[in-house]
Chain A
Amino acid sequence: MTQLALVIDLNVCVGCHACVTSCKQWNSSGWAGPMPDRNPYDADPSGVFFNRVQTFEIGTYPNTETLHFPKSCLHCEEPPCVPVCPTGASYKREDNGVVLVDYDKCIGCKYCSWACPYGVREFDEKNKVMKKCTLCIDRITDLTLPEAERKPACVLSCPTSARLFGDVHDADSEVSLAIRERGGYQLQPEWGTQPSNHYLPRRKVRIHIHEDELVRSDNPLVKEDLPVLPQDVDTLDDVAW
């Protein structure tokens, strides 16, 4: 069975929020929209976003890491949001594993958001239905789009290509390869939800220079004929009896 998912590379994510607003503009006018904004021009604006970036600081100065962490529905293989839904509005597609909400069936009871351990469901207060990331289901299943464009909006826009998209059940896919080779991990696997989305960890590159590599035999200072020894100073030869 196909399981579509995102693999997010924390090693290159700079926290620019391109994924956040490209998601918003695509989906607000799309199948999963609208994504209403409360108080858009007033105090305390708060709208529906399927994808958000959180920023954490880790460690204490000067050994501080700043981590940007994009977060959206993880399209779990065992999604706890599905069985709790009293109306069957919350479902997982069999053909591609994407977790979706049928707004016509949703009664806005929020059981699913209570059940989700990742806090990635977004309640639309205006229309009183639960919404969430669909992996841009209306892009990825739209056969009228060129194949290269059948990807989530966040994947296409990401300036650092930090978001990979594909089938994590296909061992040869780009996403499976990335998970295997670059230490891809799931969030809170202990919950047994088997999130499909994975994250790639930070990696550090260091340069090691051996002391004897610092100065090479062809050091250009040699070319300058610099006086190697002091000229007009005493030596033992001058002063010893």
Chain B
Amino acid sequence: MIQPEDRPDRQIGRHEVKETTCYMCACRCGIRVHLRDGEVRHIEGNPNHPLNEGVLCAKGSSGIMKQYSPARITQPLLRRADGERGQSAFEPISWERAFGIIEERLSKIRGEDPKKFALFTGRDQMQALTGLFAKQFGTPNYAAHGGFCSVNMAAGMIYTIGGSFWEFGGPDLERAKLFVMIGTAEDHHSNPLKKELARFKRAGGRFVSINPIRTGYSAIADEWVPIKPGTDGALLLAFIHEIIKHGLFDREFLVRYTNAAELVIQDESRDDHGLFKRFEMHIEEGCFDPQNKLWWDRELDKPISTHTEGVDPYLLGEFTLEDGTPLKPAFQLLKERVELYTPEWAERITGIPAATIRRLAHEMGVTARDQKIKLPIRWTDCWDKEHDSVTGNPVAFHAMRGLAAHSNGFQSIRALGILMSILGTIDRPGGFRHKAPFPRPIPPCPKPPNSPEGVKPNTPLDGMPLGWPAKPDDLFVDEQGEPVRLDKAFSWEYPLSVHGLMHNAITNAWRGDPYPIDTLLLFMANMAWNSSMNTVHVREMLTDKEENGDYKIPFIIVCDAFQSETIAFADLVLPDTTYLERHDAMSMLDRPISEFDGPVDSVRIPVVKPTGECKPFQDVLIEIGSRLKLPAFVDERGQRKFRDYPDFITNYETSPGSGIGFLAGWRGAAGEKFLKGEPNPRQWEMYQKNGCVYHHKLPRSYQYMRNWNQGYLQWARTHGMTRYAEPITLHIYSEPLQKFRLAAQGKGPGKKPPERLRKRVETHFDPLPFYSETLLAKLVDTHAYPLNALTQRPMAMYHSWDSQNAWLRQIHTHNYLFVNPRLGQQQGFDDGDWVWIESPTHKVRCMCRFSEAVEPGTVWTWNAIGKASGAWGLSPKANESQQGFLLNHVIPEELPPCEAGEHLSNSDPVTGQAAWFDVRVKVYKADAAEPAQSWPQFDGHKAVPGQQTRFRKWQSYVAGMFRKSAGIG
């Protein structure tokens, strides 16, 4: 036997170490990839990386099995002329031919009607490039997956506090004393949250988890508070009720940093009812929330300009101007709103005892009030007042899809933002802290086009494909008030759909509503499986034909590294690279990996050569953009400007000479500048030397109170991060929402919703948060379908897009439906039995497992473990397809017809967020005579040319020998 110390590992074969950034999920940890003879030996966390500080999760440590996966697609593929869509009938073609097909098709579309080209991507951390491409092409039909993921979380928080969770900001667990996690399972921000949770608990912090299910992070909570799905808004409003009732709010914070004391016009007969009373003042063009509002001065008993030095305004009461205008402070309106939202009221809705609600509210209020932190940091606010310390109220929150994926999610999340604000925790130690480029104005500046004129042949889009409407006139609608976008984003159906509605793109394109399209390009989006609701029908739409035999969606291009379920439905397949094979930029123009203490961005640099003929999607876009002569990609003579993606990243500027490019670090000719500066030809090298990450630490005085921190805001403006240095006042009361409501009431000039949508907009665009049942619950028979059905992803697969991974699939080989044993007793089935889960639209047969860690009115499963037979390089007999199942089949992508429309998306009426978790179901035992196999089953998924499936009995991974032994070419 060779003794372990006899032969150091690094001396076996040729050893190399390369640093890059993980992409086994969207968390983006820094990694060190060790190679032996050019094969991956092991992947470890980079200890010098600010995001993960050396740790790495189960997915990150399984990257080897992704790299050498038998699901890899290795050649461009064209559907054979004799093959039908959905049957995996492909022939390999050259890249030149693939580009030729794309160029011919897209140049014709661009010359005629650019919106007939739709580009949807499953990944939303490459939007800086994919969004740029769409805009340059001139199509508004572009979005990433945010619409079906967590747009409510982004929009609800950003329209309230100018920032949100995950990449935008998060709980400061280093200094918090009480941490409340609501509607979060195992997810974002994956490794950093785990790291911080452990530190927080070790430091003696108290952790409360509010969730219908106790798994993952909730397992280590000091208290688990089970809640009925979709009722978070009621709970949060009851917390606010209780905190206001006892005076546990941070008055000083509310007055100075929020619009709580600002006076709102209260006269329903007027067109400006519900808007802030504003006085005349010079307003910077495009500034949405200028400072020309009023407080009521208690000393003089009259209105006075907000933030007048020495004035202490009323937060409560009602007042009248000399001209008779009745006014109330926003906080008075909030207090009135929550008057009836008592803990007893919330108990009936949420299932949480009133005494628990009251106790938790008191814990939050008393901790925030009595355990204040004062850091000796001098800073100056926007009103020139100097502060010699930064105060923190150490109560932190984190929330994610549990709140977001409901049709009442936007208003629930507004309530959360308001709760965090009245406790005085925004961008303060121990509370919530922003991450650059946030905070941004409420709402942020970019806007979509606001009329069909924004789309013209051979012309870039006039506006951003995705933006932040501040008022009805910002909506992207035609003369009749109807949508211009395929997914109907920014229309009156979903006015603030800031991430688009990818989940409705296929249904709308199939129906030709609002219009048919020609070409659909999907990047890394499994729309024929776990990324669609109502998947059975969506798959039918992808193959459905017109009477003349043409497909209803004429041409589908899919770019992916793996044989996902969607590949079978492509006409053209483009093989993408893995994260270890390509360059990437996690850009400040998109969703970077910033820390609380300053901007951070990062890159990927290839550590191994691309497999087969795989080509990074970014290079594909630059190639197509150059061939189509899109202005950003060619010079004035129409000549190609960028050799490839790395060259593009180095040299692209948002406008000539702007100094703003994709990467913020080492700008300037010699790399001496940051955030803004001319292109640096050696920028990639400098990132590589620094572990592929750039971290700019702000001075301590710029690290807190950034919504109102004069120094920070001026710094942000100077460095091109924000357009204004105006204070970002928190929106306890949302004037932008009220503007949409007024339009729905027919008031004032400007755009008005179509008649059918007036009531819907008036109801949901409430300037103050409110609770109502989910849309679906109001439209289906909840007696016949009494249960809520949820999905979560397990930590070992969270945000990863493959469970074909040979190691990870042994951890979760197939999924079960988890049910409380009480349900089994009622329905007469036992642990492990085959059951049917049925919604009004579809049903699924699956295996159940009893769990005491789920609220009895809820059933749930791990998402995206179930696969279609034959997909992902797995054997058709794999457990994923035979015992595993996809819950999406029972989730409707549209609401039943109602007065607001025949085909409304099953989404939040404010943001278009897919309401995955609104689905109502019943569960009953499957007949003993039925096969012990999940249902529905699908055929048509077969290995494609160039894919090397490996169904051998044994596989042993040993770096340096594996590809040869496995026959990987």
Closest B residue to A22 using CB positions: B61
B345 within 8 A of A: no
A1 within 8 A of B: no
Q: Which residues between 128 and 173 of chain A lie within 8 Å of chain B, taking CB atoms? A: 134, 137-139, 141-145, 148, 153, 156-162
State in angstroms the CA–CA spacing of A28 and B879 once bound together: 24
What B residues does A160 contact at CB under 8 A? 194-195, 197-198
B298 within 8 A of A: yes
A108 within 8 A of B: no
Do A60 and B852 have beta carbons less than 8 Å apart?
Answer: yes
State in angstroms the CA–CA spacing of A60 and B216 once bound together: 18
Do B807 and A21 have beta carbons less than 8 Å apart?
Answer: yes
State in angstroms the CA–CA spacing of A43 and B951 once bound together: 10
Contact of A21 among B61, B178, B198, B362 (CB under 8 A): B61
What B residues does A30 contact at CB under 8 A? 9
Do A17 and B58 have beta carbons less than 8 Å apart?
Answer: yes
What B residues does A139 contact at CB under 8 A? 9
The verdict on A18 contacting B315 (CB below 8 Å), with A24-B61, A24-B807, A45-B809 known, is: no
Closest B residue to A182 using CB positions: B202
Give the residue among A17, A44, A153, A226 with the most B Cβ atoms within 10 A. A17
What A residues does B222 contact at CB under 8 A? 204-206
What B residues does A64 contact at CB under 8 A? 214, 224, 852-853
Do B58 and A21 have beta carbons less than 8 Å apart?
Answer: yes
The verdict on A26 contacting B42 (CB below 8 Å), with A16-B57, A126-B956 known, is: yes
Closest B residue to A33 using CB positions: B958
A interface: dominant SS = loop
Do A41 and B247 have beta carbons less than 8 Å apart?
Answer: no
State in angstroms the CA–CA spacing of A88 and B241 once bound together: 71
A61 within 8 A of B: yes
Do B8 and A144 have beta carbons less than 8 Å apart?
Answer: yes
Of the candidate stretches A98-106, A114-122, A186-194, the one touching chain B is A98-106
Do B219 and A14 have beta carbons less than 8 Å apart?
Answer: yes
Do A224 and B317 have beta carbons less than 8 Å apart?
Answer: yes
What A residues does B4 contact at CB under 8 A? 31, 134, 137-138, 141-142
State in angstroms the CA–CA spacing of A80 and B834 once bound together: 42
A233 within 8 A of B: no
A40 within 8 A of B: yes
Do B796 and A16 have beta carbons less than 8 Å apart?
Answer: yes
**Total count of chain A residues near the partner, CB < 8 A:** 86
Do A25 and B43 have beta carbons less than 8 Å apart?
Answer: yes
A97 within 8 A of B: no
State in angstroms the CA–CA spacing of A16 and B958 once bound together: 24
Do B811 and A12 have beta carbons less than 8 Å apart?
Answer: no
State in angstroms the CA–CA spacing of A207 and B955 once bound together: 52
The verdict on A207 contacting B853 (CB below 8 Å), with A11-B201, A29-B36, A156-B45 known, is: no
Do B317 and A159 have beta carbons less than 8 Å apart?
Answer: no
Of the candidate stretches B91-99, B121-129, B203-211, B655-663, the one touching chain A is B203-211
Render B34-63 as a binary contact track against A, CB cut-off 8 A, 1 for contact: 001000011111010000101111111110
Q: Which residues between 1 and 52 of chain A lie within 8 Å of chain B, taking CB atoms? A: 9, 11-18, 20-22, 24-26, 28-31, 33-47, 49
State in angstroms the CA–CA spacing of A146 and B186 once bound together: 33
What B residues does A229 contact at CB under 8 A? none
Nearest Cβ on chain B to A90's Cβ, whole angstroms: 13
Contact of B879 among A17, A44, A137 (CB under 8 A): A44
A59 within 8 A of B: yes
Nearest Cβ on chain A to B34's Cβ, whole angstroms: 9
Give the residue among B56, B214, B811, B878 with the most A Cβ atoms within 10 A. B56
What B residues does A219 contact at CB under 8 A? 246-247
Do B54 and A40 have beta carbons less than 8 Å apart?
Answer: no
B279 within 8 A of A: no
Closest B residue to A19 using CB positions: B58
Closest A residue to B797 using CB positions: A17
What B residues does A230 contact at CB under 8 A? none
Do B220 and A29 have beta carbons less than 8 Å apart?
Answer: no
B18 within 8 A of A: no
A238 within 8 A of B: no
Contact of B954 among A25, A26, A37, A104 (CB under 8 A): A37
B778 within 8 A of A: no
What B residues does A138 contact at CB under 8 A? 4-5, 9
State in angstroms the CA–CA spacing of A18 and B641 once bound together: 44
Q: Which residues between 1 and 45 of chain B lie within 8 Å of chain A, taking CB atoms? A: 1-2, 4-5, 7-11, 36, 41-45
Of the candidate stretches B81-89, B363-371, B586-594, B768-776, the one touching chain A is B363-371
Nearest Cβ on chain B to A22's Cβ, whole angstroms: 4
B714 within 8 A of A: no
Closest B residue to A21 using CB positions: B61
Nearest Cβ on chain B to A236's Cβ, whole angstroms: 29
Render B840-853 as a binary contact track against A, CB cut-off 8 A, 1 for contact: 00000000000111
Do B42 and A25 have beta carbons less than 8 Å apart?
Answer: yes
What B residues does A59 contact at CB under 8 A? 852
Render B196-237 as a binary contact track against A, CB cut-off 8 A, 1 for contact: 011001101111000000111111101110100000000000
Do B953 and A104 have beta carbons less than 8 Å apart?
Answer: no
The verdict on A57 contacting B852 (CB below 8 Å), with A126-B956, A207-B206 known, is: yes
Do A29 and B41 have beta carbons less than 8 Å apart?
Answer: yes
Nearest Cβ on chain A to B865's Cβ, whole angstroms: 13
What A residues does B298 contact at CB under 8 A? 225
A-B residue pairs in contact (CB < 8 Å), sample of 25: A11-B201, A12-B197, A17-B811, A18-B61, A20-B811, A21-B59, A22-B44, A33-B956, A36-B954, A36-B955, A47-B807, A64-B224, A66-B214, A66-B218, A102-B1, A138-B5, A142-B9, A157-B45, A159-B198, A161-B55, A205-B204, A205-B222, A206-B206, A209-B366, A220-B315
The 3 closest A-B pairs by CB, nearest first: A220-B251, A160-B198, A34-B956
Using CB atoms and an 8 Å cutoff, list the residues of chain A in contact with chain B.
9, 11-18, 20-22, 24-26, 28-31, 33-47, 49, 57, 59-62, 64-68, 102-105, 126, 134, 137-139, 141-145, 148, 153, 156-162, 202, 204-207, 209, 213-216, 219-226
Using CB atoms and an 8 Å cutoff, list the residues of chain B in contact with chain A.
1-2, 4-5, 7-11, 36, 41-45, 47, 52, 54-62, 64, 70, 178, 186, 190-191, 194-195, 197-198, 201-202, 204-207, 214-220, 222-224, 226, 246-249, 251, 298, 312, 314-317, 359, 362-363, 366-367, 369-370, 795-796, 804, 806-811, 813, 820, 822, 851-856, 873-875, 877-879, 882, 949-960
Given contacts A16-B795, A64-B214, A205-B206, 15 further A-B contacts (CB under 8 A): A14-B216, A15-B795, A21-B61, A21-B796, A29-B959, A29-B960, A45-B813, A64-B224, A105-B1, A141-B4, A145-B10, A160-B194, A214-B362, A215-B246, A221-B247
